Amino acid sequence: AQSVAQPEDQVNVAEGNPLTVKCTYSVSGNPYLFWYVQYPNRGLQFLLKYITGDNLVKGSYGFEAEFNKSQTSFHLKKPSALVSDSALYFCAVRKNTGTASKLTFGTGTRLQVTL
Amino acid sequence: ETGVTQSPTHLIKTRGQQVTLRCSSQSGHNTVSWYQQALGQGPQFIFQYYREEENGRGNFPPRFSGLQFPNYSSELNVNALELDDSALYLCASSLGGAGGLNEQFFGPGTRLTVL
């Protein structure tokens, strides 16, 4: 069965500093990996995805993520955090088989960016 | 381009009642997935509909059922409500159905409270 782990419940960072939100996954075969962000009282917004190719994926709002197959990780990064980045971030994995495109989500990491 | 919409926004029901939640998919999308997000948790996959057929289901009992209509909108029905059904129910639309690699676009969700 596929699974995702987000080891940090919360990440605190000062505005202007780089941020990293960690994600590790477990799936047989090649994974499809996603990051979503959730603001209060809002649905999930897609940030970026890794399917194949370059291990560094660039996404929306200046976010990027690095796929590391040997460490089974897909950490979300941003060079310079903004207060407006404060939200709940979810990593998700989809197994690339001919089944329904089911996403398995982690438990989420709350990012708090302060001035 | 119209995004994913869900109705109602909030709903309060009592144990044993039945509820229907509605979702309109993003224009051009033919696949709808439903997720349950309990407080403090990541979304859990309920099922997916592709071209009006259920093509994948998560670990939810049969009292969770759904429909997809020819215009690709969808309903989630829950019978015999239990207290643990209290959650945010998210609908996501995408293009491609089973095996599709396109990202899912989420609606704002319906907050269901069961008393």
Q: Considering only alpha carbons, which residue of chain A is nearest residue B36? A: A105
pLDDT digit string, tens, across residues A50-98: 988 899 999 999 999 999 999 999 999 999 999 999 999 999 998 655 5
Q: Which residues of B touch A103 (CB under 8 A)?
A: 33, 35, 43, 45, 104
The DSSP bridge pattern shows strands B110-114 and B10-13 to be parallel
Rounded-to-integer distance, Cα B47 and Cα B1, Å: 25
Q: Is the pLDDT of residue A99 over 60?
A: no
Q: Which residues pair with B92 in a beta bridge?
A: B33, B106
Q: Is the dihedral of CA B27, A35, A104, B87 positive or negative?
A: negative
Q: What is the DSSP string of B38-97?
A: -TTS--EEEEEEETTEEEEE-S--TTEEEEE-TTS-EEEEE-S--GGG-EEEEEEEESS-
pLDDT below 70 — which residues of chain B? 1-2, 97-101
Please tell me which residue of chain B has the smallest CA distance to A5: B42
